Amino acid sequence: MTAHLNGFKAALSASKLQIGLWLGLTSPVTAEVCATAGYDWLVIDGEHAPNDVPAMLSQLQVLAAYDVHPVVRTVAGETWMIKQALDLGAQTVLVPMVETPEAAAELVRATRYPPMGCRGVGAALARASRYNRIPDYLATANDQVALIVQVESRSALAQVAEIAAVPGVDGVFIGPADLAADMGFLGDPSAPEVRAAVLSAIRAITRVGKPAGLLTSDRSFAMECIAEGAVFVAVGSDVGLLTSSTAALRSGFPKSI
């Protein structure tokens, strides 16, 4: 019996649309508020938000009570970072700035136990195995772990089909902000050239039978990407929602005299 099925991985494999939200506030309280809003996945962002290991752990613990899938984004694709995220209990890891199929293959190895990979065995101490209370954790972990790689440069985009096709890559996320920067549109992920590149990448990923994903807070572009075949689409962030709604609320009242 597999005690911890990765429903998100199964949904991606079945091309079942998954709508997500970015978590950058590092709070288990706000994570729990977001967990009851109806999203399918929530990204605990360790790349651009100060989500350190204790913060990741507390958010993973609160999210476990809800029907939402936590995804942990590591700062980079270092084997030790991935090992730490998986042992914390993340079943799906998102790794930024993946440039080549070879790099993707190394990341696959980092997420899987031998003989498929090189993930270090520490289940006896790890929340991932519920501290060894999941009897078949080691035997089933490789099948339940999901690796999502981020493609977010012109050079990576040129090899996106090859990256997507790497066995063990369970999804490819296109990063519009970094792709825009690399394309010369720093700060403008909505530039027509960037959007065209994102849509082209979605088609290429889908053609090799892998799920494509992205983050965009532009609803019309999100719907366009979904129509193009995107499967896992994050549509905003807790930070963005808080900054915009707090300002909007205040603007409805007279300025302080």
Which are the catalytic amino acids? 48
Any idea which residue has 């962002």 for tokens? 45
Nearest Cα to Cα of residue 193 among 214, 206, 179: 179
Q: Which residue is nearest to ligand LXDSK4UY (CB)?
A: 175
Does 182 interact with ligand LXDSK4UY (rule: CB under 6 A)?
no
User: Do residues 35 and 25 lie in contact, with contact meaning Cβ atoms separated by under 8 Å?
Assistant: no
> Helices 79-88 and 101-111, interaxial angle, to 10°?
40
Residues in contact with ligand LXDSK4UY, total (CB under 6 A)? 11
Do residues 45 and 23 make contact, with C-beta atoms less than 8 angstroms apart? yes
**How far apart are alpha carbons 19 and 41 in whole angstroms?**
7
**Cβ-based nearer residue to ligand LXDSK4UY, 99 or 178:** 178
Considering only 51-59, 77-85, 105-113, 172-180, which stretch makes contact with ligand LXDSK4UY by CB under 6 A? 172-180
Check residue 176 for interaction with ligand LXDSK4UY (CB under 6 A): yes
Sequence-separated (6 or more) residues with CB below 8 Å from residue 144: 2, 4, 5, 6, 9, 91
Q: Mark the segment that binds ligand LXDSK4UY (CB under 6 A) among 58-66, 103-111, 153-161, 175-183.
A: 175-183
The answer to whether 215 contacts ligand LXDSK4UY (rule: CB under 6 A) is yes
CB-nearer residue toward ligand LXDSK4UY: 21 or 145: 21
CB of 24 to ligand LXDSK4UY, least distance (A): 7
Tell me the residue type at 158. Answer: A
Applying CB under 6 A, among 152, 170, 182, 238 the residue interacting with ligand LXDSK4UY is 152
For residue 205, the minimal CB distance to ligand LXDSK4UY (Å) is 15
Locate the DSSP E strands across 87-188: 92-95, 146-151, 171-174
Give the Cα separation of 238 and 48 in Å (integer): 13
**Helix and strand counts by DSSP (H, E) for the chain:** 12, 8
3-class state of residue 191 by DSSP = coil
Q: Which of 19, 64, 165, 177 binds ligand LXDSK4UY (CB under 6 A)?
A: 177
Judged by beta carbon, residue 89 or residue 176, the one nearer ligand LXDSK4UY is 176
Residues near ligand LXDSK4UY, by CB under 6 A: 22, 45, 48, 96, 150, 152, 175-178, 215
